[in-house]
């Protein structure tokens, strides 16, 4: 029964309004920096954390294969183990943050992530690598779930979606700059340079952990007698929304993995187009993500934004699919056009996802709910690669058209499901407000 999931006390609240929200009293940023000091703290921590991630993302695979001697399969298996650990920990970590104090739990988890961040360089066997990456994922993904709840509680006044859009732009910028440091390690191509990238990640994660201590104390949520510990698991409408947004999130896998394989194996376009399209995406998100997320600040507008984003992503996929049938120049033209249309849909659709995920979550249980919402993306990251490979690479243009149809179906289905979710909350006296 869905009423058990959202609480049966009149007046419980969720993060966003069901409808148009009034404009915030002050702009979100000034000179590209958040006006609210609490949001500045969150943004600084995000930049530091993702800067280090960018350095490691660029170097880790080559370090473990070329300098430690693991096979590509062994590294992939270890990373898969870490991914599974990350999936399992998100909801319990979010619940722990809700009930024990979000800031305190976040500091603990970030400190653990800082401790484990450099330890993978010590691995000398595949099982050691799996254990160390799993330990890092335990703290890193747990911190990510709690952090999403903190964002939902602090980005008040209808700014939740806009601030998440801002953080996404910050994340892309930080990873891009961090990858330059990783690129320097690749140029040096010495063991010490790769190790330095991991140490840099640990130091910056530690800085982010310290930065978190500057956040205000957020009171823990006292669970009522008889209330289930993980109420989100019984919130069937929210589960349905998470499934749909998880399917929608496949487009990230398509554009990160599928398009690279598609370009190299199915088209006459040069493989350098992979880097060109990635650069286009990164720059576009950094410049326009906040602007294109402004109309997704509630459940209703979020669902509508998801549809708009899904249609544009589908159009982008269709254009990319045409590259399977053209000459070199024609393929390049379709790839660029498809990537540009896709990234617009990606930015609009991302705002829609955030509007749904935050707007349908009870305010006092944002950590638990945002941790669960993250499972949709996590599962798509685990199950998506084989599906995307079959469709985008083996089936060529036909597969891209099928993926386009899947995006439209998932996004359109979110509209009636979001109405169901809102109705389930209204039936138990649960109201929404601009959070």
Q: Dump the DSSP string for 2-35.
A: THHHH-SSTT-EESSBSSPPPPPSS-SEETTEES
| Residues 52 and 193 reside in one and the same domain | yes
Residue 305 lies in a domain: yes
At residue 73, the pLDDT reads 82
| Residues 208 and 236 reside in one and the same domain | no
Residue 206 lies in a domain: yes
| Residues 43 and 188 reside in one and the same domain | yes
Contacts of 385 (CB under 8 A, 6+ apart): 253, 257
Query: Is the pLDDT score of 126 beyond 80?
Result: yes
Average pLDDT estimate for 34-59: 91
Please count the structural domains in the chain. 2
Eight-state DSSP code of residue 418: H
- Give percent of the chain with pLDDT exceeding 90: 46
CB 377 within 8 A of CB 249: yes
| Residues 120 and 239 reside in one and the same domain | no
| Residues 79 and 198 reside in one and the same domain | yes
> What is the residue-averaged pLDDT of the chain?
86
End-of-domain residue from the set 178, 212, 246: 212
- CATH code, domain carrying 300: 1.20.1250.20
Residue range(s) defining the domain that contains residue 174: 15-24+36-212
| Residues 136 and 271 reside in one and the same domain | no
**Structure tokens that stand for 218 in this block:** 């957020």
At residue 225, the pLDDT reads 58
| Residues 207 and 237 reside in one and the same domain | no
End-of-domain residue from the set 143, 177, 212: 212
Give me the phi and psi of 184, to 5 degrees please. Answer: -65, -40
Of residues 198 and 222, more confidence is placed in 198
Is the whole model's pTM more than 0.75, yes or no?
Answer: yes
| Residues 134 and 277 reside in one and the same domain | no
Residue 217 lies in a domain: no
Residue 179 lies in a domain: yes
Residue 31 lies in a domain: no
Contacts of 82 (CB under 8 A, 6+ apart): 130, 133, 134, 136, 137
**Structure tokens that stand for 246 in this block:** 């998880």
Residue 338 lies in a domain: yes
| Residues 280 and 409 reside in one and the same domain | yes
Helix orientation angle between 126-154 and 102-117, rounded to the nearest 10 degrees: 150
Residue 302 lies in a domain: yes
3-state secondary structure of 433: coil
At residue 25, the pLDDT reads 52
CB 387 within 8 A of CB 250: yes
| Residues 244 and 181 reside in one and the same domain | no
At residue 10, the pLDDT reads 31
Residue 224 lies in a domain: no
Radius of gyration of the chain (CA): 21
**Structure tokens that stand for 423 in this block:** 């109705």
At residue 227, the pLDDT reads 63
| Residues 130 and 199 reside in one and the same domain | yes
| Residues 79 and 205 reside in one and the same domain | yes
Query: Is the pLDDT score of 160 beyond 70?
Result: yes
Query: Is the pLDDT score of 244 beyond 90?
Result: yes
């Amino acid at each position: 029964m869905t009423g058990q999931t959202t609480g049966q006390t009149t007046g419980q609240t969720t993060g966003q309004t069901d409808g148009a929200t009034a404009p915030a009293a002050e702009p979100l940023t000034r000179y590209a920096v958040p006006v609210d000091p609490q949001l500045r703290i969150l943004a600084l921590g995000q930049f530091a954390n993702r800067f280090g991630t960018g350095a490691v993302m660029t170097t880790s695979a080559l370090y473990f294969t070329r300098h430690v001697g693991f096979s590509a399969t062994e590294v992939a298996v270890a990373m898969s183990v870490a991914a599974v650990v990350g999936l399992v920990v998100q909801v319990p970590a979010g619940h722990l943050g809700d009930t024990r104090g979000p800031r305190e739990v976040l500091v603990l988890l970030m400190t653990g992530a800082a401790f484990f961040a450099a330890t993978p360089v010590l691995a000398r066997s595949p099982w050691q690598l799996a254990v160390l990456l799993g330990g890092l994922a335990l703290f890193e993904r747990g911190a990510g779930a709690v952090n999403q709840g903190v964002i939902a509680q602090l980005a008040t006044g209808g700014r939740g979606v806009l601030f998440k859009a801002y953080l996404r732009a910050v994340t892309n910028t930080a990873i891009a700059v961090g990858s330059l440091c990783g690129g320097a390690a690749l140029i040096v191509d010495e063991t010490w340079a790769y190790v330095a990238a991991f140490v840099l990640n640990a130091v910056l994660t530690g800085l982010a952990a310290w930065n978190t201590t500057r956040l205000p104390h957020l009171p823990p949520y006292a669970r009522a007698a008889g209330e289930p510990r993980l109420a989100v698991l019984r919130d069937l409408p929210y589960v349905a929304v998470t499934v749909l947004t998880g399917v929608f999130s496949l487009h990230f896998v398509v554009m990160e993995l599928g398009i690279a394989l598609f370009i190299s194996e199915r088209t006459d376009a040069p493989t350098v187009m992979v880097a060109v399209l990635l650069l286009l995406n990164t720059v576009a998100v950094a410049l326009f993500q906040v602007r294109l997320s402004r109309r997704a600040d509630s459940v209703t507008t979020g669902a509508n934004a998801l549809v708009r984003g899904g249609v544009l992503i589908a159009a982008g996929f269709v254009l990319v699919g045409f590259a399977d049938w053209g000459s070199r120049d024609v393929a390049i033209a379709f790839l660029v056009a498809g990537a540009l249309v896709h990234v617009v849909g990606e930015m609009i659709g991302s705002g829609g996802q955030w509007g749904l995920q935050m707007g349908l979550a009870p305010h006092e249980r944002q950590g638990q709910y945002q941790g669960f919402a993250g499972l949709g993306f996590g599962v798509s990251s685990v199950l998506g690669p084989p599906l995307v490979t079959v469709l985008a690479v083996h089936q060529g243009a036909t597969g891209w058209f099928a993926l386009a149809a899947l995006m439209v179906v998932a996004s359109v289905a979110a509209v009636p499901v979001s109405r169901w979710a809102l109705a389930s909350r209204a039936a138990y006296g649960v109201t929404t407000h601009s959070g």
